[in-house]
Structure 1
């Protein structure tokens, strides 16, 4: 039986667990066949979210149960997140006690870990190829492990470069509104240099010092034609600490050394006009209305001049427990939760981009600026975080190293430590 590391940044061993499905049978169905006239009851776990998001799930589950009345009934359990890892802790306990639900939500970067640990099953047989092709590419990347598709995304995300229109106008700067003209690192650096003055920073780009560091800044490695690990997710040596990786980290260190951004920023620094640009996401937009003096726009994630245009992506996904007695029916729940209607409703409720291309057809607000930038990134250049069962170790060590680098640590030595730690962890726990 395989073992893996749970999503929390603590190393937690997982053992493959059994489903918590409850079924109404008389014992004559062999344990996995529906008795005629009886209802298959499935369980679905997800973490508690904001009110608007919670309401979407409640509505969609009510609609599913109504559409499948007399055949399938899903009981959704919402797990309160009293601390950062409360949901993952409950899953870990369920693995140990063999009480996993039939359907479970998981953070996107952890799909590979859940798949490698045999906690979730592949869903390829339950999705038509045309249906899979409707997901934006990064959703397929995030949900695929060893060429099998395990978990579609409930929605998508992105990181863009917000800019203060007044500050740009003061300096005669026109941010690009076509993706092929996205600012290069050097062009963005020049913008920051021109706009940084007194108590105004050139940019704001530290959201938090945990997962944000990997989510946002991996793109500097990708844009420079490398990554934190190889494509298979098995090796970090020669990738995170490659010459291209060192160049990416050195660029970020230069911005810190020249105080073009605040390494410990106030959360509303950009909103208050104290930063000319900001690396942030769609989740920031609803809060902008609380700052009526802020005139903001969106441009693309900066790229290396001779590199790849890319942008962060990834959000929560949903899959089927490996030991569900009714995987076909559980897969129907997954498909319902991630179909076009669900994708549109969830995206609009939480101001995040949809996970399906077809959903954008109903979301015409993404056809024009500023939201067009988000749509273009999500549908064309977004890149999921590394698909590896050892992701929790990778993201923790990379985040720590990058913060150290930004405050002056030796770049190559810091990245070498990430590579060696990751490779040792992968070899010890995941090498076949």
Structure 2
């Protein structure tokens, strides 16, 4: 989640044009093989769950002479490795039957013909959370299903807040979130008390974390990144609601409530009282920082709309267009994202459910912190823009954040938005 590689739309379109059929794969034991590539290591806890679920798939469908084979292709630190192999396989038409892909890249893969629709084969879509269907859908067809969900919230150190005079019973909840102004007041209290930044907003990120975590502020203000039909950025991204949202972020920097260069692991080591981070930090806290007594609160909201919006989305499974065994490839996708797989993964790592059926199970088992994320996701989760031009759109958004925070905090936000809205629009026009 922390490191993302953006897929080149033009590259995918070019590669897809050379895709052709491949011969069926049959094992020496006479069983037809369904091949699958995943983006993580088999030594990773998530990878171990995948391996276990594939073994269960093979046992369940042994009477049908079907066998799934999983290949682990870990991503490198800059997001390469896995995507490099996928791109290489596109040129030689050697893609497997099933692949994993990052949520916002659904439209790019679908438009270029790399992945195929699942609607004909997956019939229990009503069990999927709306955010999962939204992220995996392109032009009204479901192309991919998320293996897990994720979200972002504000971690707070209970002791440090109490020592600053904050009554923990008055903190915001998903049902009663604070406005940006109320959150700024909390940050001032904490900064005055400890003479240091109140929170690490992770504004130093140079990757998808910026888009993933910060777009909810725009949505809360009733703004958007691109139009709902995916065709417009100019006149959408550079409108007043986006200015208001980015003014809030810029204020956090100008007032010193957050910083461009935070102390490493400042929250985890109790140097900063708060941290803006994703659900994955729960696992880190449980594993490495067990002595820190912390809680989680939801996003602050626009004082004009009072509307809570949170991010959603993660990696997904999809079947490739070149698969000659689409019925079984789709069954494998469905199996890897079904209730049992989802519950197994949620119990192993800090992963939020993608189905209502698994959510009912995990809500009873999750910690208080995880249930805040779960409730926020279920009630307010919002997928990132669905567009074949997403790689360029997200880069423009990330550059926008850099421009208003890293280079010149006094830079006119409207002018910055106008510039990057044009970049987005150019990419959208080319992609469509």
TM-score w.r.t. the length of structure 1 is 0.90
Tell me, yes or no, if structure 1 residue 75 matches structure 2 residue 73: no
SS in 2 for 1:342: helix
Which of the residues 83, 86, 91 maps onto 1:88?
A: 83
What is the CA distance between 1:7 and its match in structure 2?
Answer: 5.2
Separation in structure 2 between the aligned mates of residue 159 and residue 202 of structure 1, nearest angstrom: 17
Tell me, yes or no, if structure 1 residue 172 matches structure 2 residue 174: no
Structure 2: tracts of 5 or more residues without a match: none
Distance 1:261 1:126, change over 3 A: same
1:341 aligns to what? 340
CA contact (8 A) 1:184 1:303 kept: yes
2:298 aligns to what? 300
Tell me, yes or no, if structure 1 residue 310 matches structure 2 residue 309: yes
CA contact (8 A) 1:200 1:273 kept: no
SS in 2 for 1:234: coil
The correspondence of residues 200-219 of structure 1 with structure 2, limited to 5 A, is 200-206=196-202, 208-219=205-216
Separation in structure 2 between the aligned mates of residue 292 and residue 58 of structure 1, nearest angstrom: 29
Tell me, yes or no, if structure 1 residue 282 matches structure 2 residue 279: yes
CA contact (8 A) 1:344 1:354 kept: yes
What is the CA distance between 1:278 and its match in structure 2?
Answer: 1.6
CA contact (8 A) 2:95 2:320 kept: yes
Separation in structure 2 between the aligned mates of residue 395 and residue 274 of structure 1, nearest angstrom: 31
Separation in structure 2 between the aligned mates of residue 182 and residue 355 of structure 1, nearest angstrom: 24
2:240 aligns to what? 243
1:380 aligns to what? 379
SS in 2 for 1:106: strand
Separation in structure 2 between the aligned mates of residue 401 and residue 410 of structure 1, nearest angstrom: 11
Which of the residues 91, 94, 97 maps onto 1:102?
A: 97
2:113 aligns to what? 118
SS in 2 for 1:179: coil
What is the CA distance between 1:148 and its match in structure 2?
Answer: 0.7
Of stretches 16-25 and 233-242 in structure 1, the one that deviates more from structure 2 is 16-25
Which of the residues 123, 135, 140 maps onto 1:142?
A: 135
Q: Could you say what the CA RMSD is over the residues aligned between the two structures, in angstroms?
A: 2.1
CA contact (8 A) 1:365 1:371 kept: no
What is the CA distance between 1:267 and its match in structure 2?
Answer: 3.4
1:141-197 deviation per Cα after TM superposition (whole angstroms, max 9, x unaligned): 100111111101000000011111112212233354642211111111111011113
Distance 1:8 1:185, change over 3 A: same
1:28 aligns to what? none
TM-score w.r.t. the length of structure 2 is 0.90
Separation in structure 2 between the aligned mates of residue 44 and residue 176 of structure 1, nearest angstrom: 45
Separation in structure 2 between the aligned mates of residue 187 and residue 263 of structure 1, nearest angstrom: 22
CA contact (8 A) 1:20 1:102 kept: no
Distance 1:410 1:21, change over 3 A: farther
Distance 1:51 1:24, change over 3 A: closer
CA contact (8 A) 1:137 1:380 kept: no
Separation in structure 1 between the aligned mates of residue 91 and residue 221 of structure 2, nearest angstrom: 42
CA contact (8 A) 2:352 2:374 kept: yes
Distance 1:102 1:18, change over 3 A: farther
Distance 1:359 1:292, change over 3 A: closer
What is the CA distance between 1:92 and its match in structure 2?
Answer: 1.1
1:32 aligns to what? none
What is the CA distance between 1:80 and its match in structure 2?
Answer: 2.8
CA contact (8 A) 1:106 1:318 kept: yes
Tell me, yes or no, if structure 1 residue 44 matches structure 2 residue 39: no
Separation in structure 2 between the aligned mates of residue 199 and residue 56 of structure 1, nearest angstrom: 44
1:29 aligns to what? none
Count of matched residue pairs: 412
Tell me, yes or no, if structure 1 residue 390 matches structure 2 residue 389: yes
CA contact (8 A) 1:360 1:366 kept: no
CA contact (8 A) 1:20 1:101 kept: no
Runs of 4+ in 1 over 6 A off after TM superposition: none
